């Protein structure tokens, strides 16, 4: 995430202007906003609507259709649990439930300390490694519920420096 250097409305205006406010560029505009703020703030969506002359329902339609967009702030770490068929049959559900319990965050949400966003994904193209979890884009495969502790240590290393 890049720290915004100007006010949100001004920055959104810049992004929209860089695409000449073309409605066909909506996805690109939202991608840039998401990249900059780590999510799509409501204020930004409203501003996009004004500047691009689009109805809020249209923008929310796009923002909720694509999983890459988030309407709530994302955590510093993104944990993606694959729940595709190959991972599902190898017990990804139990891994997901253990992550929810140990990270104290429900799937689809961000922890209160904004450290972790936990999401589910459908097949990341590494079925032979299933069940698979991605942490900030890095694959962890052939996981068991007992190994979730190791994943937690990647996300929240012990302040004492102990390695698991």
Contact stretch for ligand FES (CB under 6 A) within 10-18, 70-78, 123-131, 148-156: 123-131
Could you give the C-alpha distances from 133 to 78, 86, 126, 152, in angstroms and in order?
A: 10, 13, 10, 12
When asked if residue 85 is in the footprint of ligand FES (CB under 6 A), the reply is yes
When asked if residue 89 is in the footprint of ligand FES (CB under 6 A), the reply is no
Q: How far is the CB of 143 from ligand FES (least distance, A)?
A: 11
Among 44, 124, 133, 134, binds ligand FES (CB under 6 A): 124
Q: Which is nearer to ligand FES, 138 or 162 (CB)?
A: 138
Task: Kindly report the three-state secondary structure assignment for every residue of 99-120.
Answer: HHHHHCCCCCEECCCCCEEEEE
**Six-digit token pair at 126?**
């590494």
When asked if residue 126 is in the footprint of ligand FES (CB under 6 A), the reply is yes
Could you give the C-alpha distances from 70 to 34, 38, 109, 128, 133, in angstroms and in order?
A: 8, 8, 10, 29, 19
When asked if residue 140 is in the footprint of ligand FES (CB under 6 A), the reply is no
Q: How far apart are CA 95 and CA 93, in angstroms?
A: 5
Binding region for ligand FES (CB under 6 A):
82, 84-87, 123-124, 126-127, 130, 132
């Amino acid at each position: 995430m890049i720290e915004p250097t100007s006010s949100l409305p001004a920055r959104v205006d810049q992004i929209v202007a860089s695409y000449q406010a073309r409605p066909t560029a909506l996805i690109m505009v939202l991608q840039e906003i998401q990249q900059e703020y780590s999510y799509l703030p409501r204020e930004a969506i409203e501003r996009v609507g004004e500047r691009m002359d689009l109805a809020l329902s249209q923008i929310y339609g796009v923002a909720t259709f694509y999983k890459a967009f988030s309407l709530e702030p994302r955590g510093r770490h993104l944990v993606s649990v694959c729940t595709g068929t190959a991972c599902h049959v190898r017990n990804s559900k139990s891994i997901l439930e253990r992550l929810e319990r140990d990270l104290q965050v429900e799937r689809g949400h961000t922890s209160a300390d904004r450290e972790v966003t936990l999401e589910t994904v459908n097949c990341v193209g590494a079925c032979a490694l299933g069940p698979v979890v991605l942490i900030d884009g890095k694959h962890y495969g052939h996981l068991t519920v007992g190994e979730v502790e190791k994943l937690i240590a990647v996300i929240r290393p012990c302040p004492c420096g102990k390695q698991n």
